[in-house]
Structure 1
Amino acid sequence: MSFDSDPRAVGPRIRMMMPMLTPLEAKVVETVFALSDFSEETALKDLADLAGVSEAMVVKIAKKLGFAGYRAFRKGVVRYNRLPTAEMHREVSPQDTSRDIVEKVFRTSMQALEETLAILDYEAFDRAADLLVRAKHRDFYGLGGSAQIARDAAHKFLRIGVRASVCDDTHMMMMSAALLDPRDAVVAFSHSGNSTSVIEAAQLARRNGARVIAITNYGTSALAKSADIVLCSTAQGSPLMGENAAARIAQLNILDALFVVVAQRDYASAERNLDRTMSAVTSKRKDKT
């Protein structure tokens, strides 16, 4: 993993690795990001003393996060903290006005979009688009908020004649997975990547030969490990808003981009089907001509 190409990727990559850390290791990382004066001059010993751990522990954490050592970790975090997007995220407080809250919510989503773009795996993205184009059946799995994203994506794809079924119930997902074969594709949605119902259905689908695309916030999650292709969103957590709200915006944009690329693969057919589906619903509009 390289952090030199785009400093915007530093924060997201560290957040994605946080579930892999022990509580003590995670506390050290949180200490770093809580320091307003963390800089290139912050000594290893000073950070270790502040976090209440040994210097060797700090170095171990840096390497676990994918850095060569403490100096590379320090450099990466400092570069990330200098970015304008790093200033976007602000916690909601009881003293905030409605204007403050609106700005914070919007900026959190803007940051999620910027950072998701920075970590997007374009090779995986293209493979996902090709898979959706070629598949005989496309089944979308998701529960709760993830199911809403699945339904939105299926709606968009139907407009261009690419049919997808949405399964938002544990039994429906398992029955769907049991009937799939190597000609089929699954898109599995889970913000945490730890939803057992989605993971088990994805695993069953793969055992039957279907290819699985995971849409998740954590590239090291159980769902990601159960998939053939992983597309990651990223968003900072918040005690009030959580990660899900901003991550949902990022995931919707990933799916919007997939929709456009899939349409581009056979533009003439997509345009023809778009005209047909739009004509079919025109009679249901009050402003029809």
Structure 2
Amino acid sequence: MGTQLHSFPCLHRIQTMYSEFSAKERKIADYILENPQRLVHSTINQVADQLLVADATVFRFCKRIGFSGFQALKIALAAEAARPGKNMDEAVKDTDNEKAVAIKVFESNIQTLQDTIHTLNQKHLHEAVEWICRAKHIVFYGCGSASVIALDALEKFLQTDLAVTAYTDPHLQLLSAARCTKEDVAVFISHAGADKEMLKLLQAVQKTGAKTIAITQFAKSPLSQKADVPLFTVSQEADFRFSSFSARIVQLSLIDTLYVNVMLRYKDTNEEILQKGKETYTV
């Protein structure tokens, strides 16, 4: 397993690698994801017996996701469970009042931000900022729930001295891809990183020689593996009701991170542009 994925929280590693697992490995993965605490209080023999697999299969699964063995996996799960933020899918109950739900939503978002900053690759972040600063033109691509993230990026980067656009319509995205050059940078925003249209768009952009940056959750997704520089987010919700909540928050935070770094590189020029923008609003 790569060093980037190795730094991810245990449950996120399992979610990220899930599509690559064999049938037996998925049985073990499902067992852990459904109730991590159950595994913490079990022996390797108990888990193997319950899943009707060999002890060695469970041990190999632990190695597969980056742990030295079953005990190391248990320690990691116990440590994650001790954190103040919890998976919102597990925490929210029908009996919770409005304030209790609010607390759990906030805790989930806070935990996602903390997990993401913990796994953020400094080398990749530095490259992304450098490329954006040197680009002749920057284009942000997002579709579905990521559309608002791309538009937020556009609004922020229009306050810099850089040429920037954003596209959320699939047809316009492909048309714009043909206009990219090797001096440009394209930023792709996708939670799962497996959307066929987004992958087709990435391929079209790369044919022009433009540099590509992917903001996505899954380290093993096609988008993150094919883009020049991946920036990973971390969120652990499994329930469809909440799956995009913290993902959206952390995607926005990564856009903010890129924006602030760019603003600091060209502080004087960008402050002048910001001032002109304020004057325009007050006219």
Q: TM-score, with normalisation over the residues of structure 1?
A: 0.88
In structure 2, the CA distance between the partners of 1:52 and 1:11, relative to structure 1 (3 Å rule), is same
Per the TM alignment, residue 58 of structure 1 is displaced from its structure 2 partner at its CA by 1.1
Residue 99 of structure 2 aligns with which residue?
Answer: 99
Contact 1:216–1:232 (CA under 8 A) maintained in structure 2: yes
**Aligned residues of 1:90 and 1:108 also touching (Cα < 8 A):** no
Unaligned runs of 5+ in 2: none
* 1:29-75 deviation per Cα after TM superposition (whole angstroms, max 9, x unaligned): 23235143543x74221221123322122122222212233333233
Verify: 1:153 aligned to 2:138, yes or no: no
CA-CA distance at 1:220 after TM superposition: 0.8
Deviation at 1:133, TM superposition (A): 0.6
1:153-191 deviation digits (Å, cap 9, x = unpaired): 110111123232111111111111112121011000110
Q: What residue is the counterpart of 1:196 in the other structure?
A: 196
SS in 2 for 1:187: strand
Q: TM-score scaled by structure 2? A: 0.90
Mapped partners of 2:222, 2:56: distance in 1: 29
Q: Which amino acid aligns with 1:184?
A: D
Matched residue, 1:265 = 265
Distance (Å, rounded) in 2 between the aligned partners of 1:11 and 1:84:
16
Cα root mean square deviation, aligned: 2.3
Cα separation, 2, equivalents of 1:215 and 1:258: 11
Query: Which segment drifts farther, 24-33 or 244-253?
Result: 24-33
Query: Which amino acid in 2 is paired with 1:280?
Result: T
Instruction: Provide the residue aligned with 2:248 in structure 1.
Output: 248
Corresponding position of 2:48 = 48
Paired residue secondary structure (1:230): strand
What count of residue pairs does the alignment treat as equivalent? 280
The match for 1:163 is 163
SS of structure 1 residue aligned to 2:85 = helix
- CA deviation digits over 1:126-147, x for unaligned, max 9? 1101111111111111112101
**Paired residues of 1:174 and 1:204 also in contact (CA < 8 A):** yes
Q: Distance in 2 between matches of 1:187 and 1:87?
A: 29
Name the CA distance, whole Å, in 2 between partners of 1:251 and 1:151.
12
Distance 1:117 1:20 in 2: 26
Instruction: Determine the structure 2 residue equivalent to 1:173.
Output: 173
> Residue by residue, what CA displacement relative to the aligned partner does 1:177-208 show, whole Å, maximum 9, x if unpaired?
11212101100011010111111111111121
Specify the SS of the correspondent of 1:179: coil
Listed as ranges, the matches of 1:26-105 within 5 Å are: 26-33=26-33, 34-39=35-40, 42-86=42-86, 90-105=90-105
Quick check: 1:90–1:104 contact (8 Å CA) kept in 2?
Answer: no
CA contact (8 A) 1:157 1:164 kept: yes
SS of equivalent to 2:187: strand
Q: Which residue of 2 aligns with 1:212?
A: 212
1:77 CA displacement: 2.1
Code of the aligned partner of 1:129:
V
- Distance in 2 between the 1:86 and 1:106 partners? 10
Contact 2:138 2:165 in 1 (8 A): yes
CA distance in 2, matches of 1:20, 1:85: 28
Aligned-partner Cα distance in 1 for 2:10–2:36: 16
Contact 2:124 2:231 in 1 (8 A): yes
Whether the aligned pair in 2 keeps the contact of 1:38 and 1:78 (CA below 8 Å) is: no
Letter in 2 for 1:36: Q
Cα drift, residue 24 of structure 1: 4.2
Q: Which whole-Å CA distance do the structure 2 matches of 1:225 and 1:100 have between them?
A: 39
Work out the CA distance in 2 between the residues paired with 1:76 and 1:95.
30
Structure 1: gaps of 5 or more residues: 284-289
> Any conservation in 2 of the 1:112–1:235 contact (CA below 8 Å)?
yes
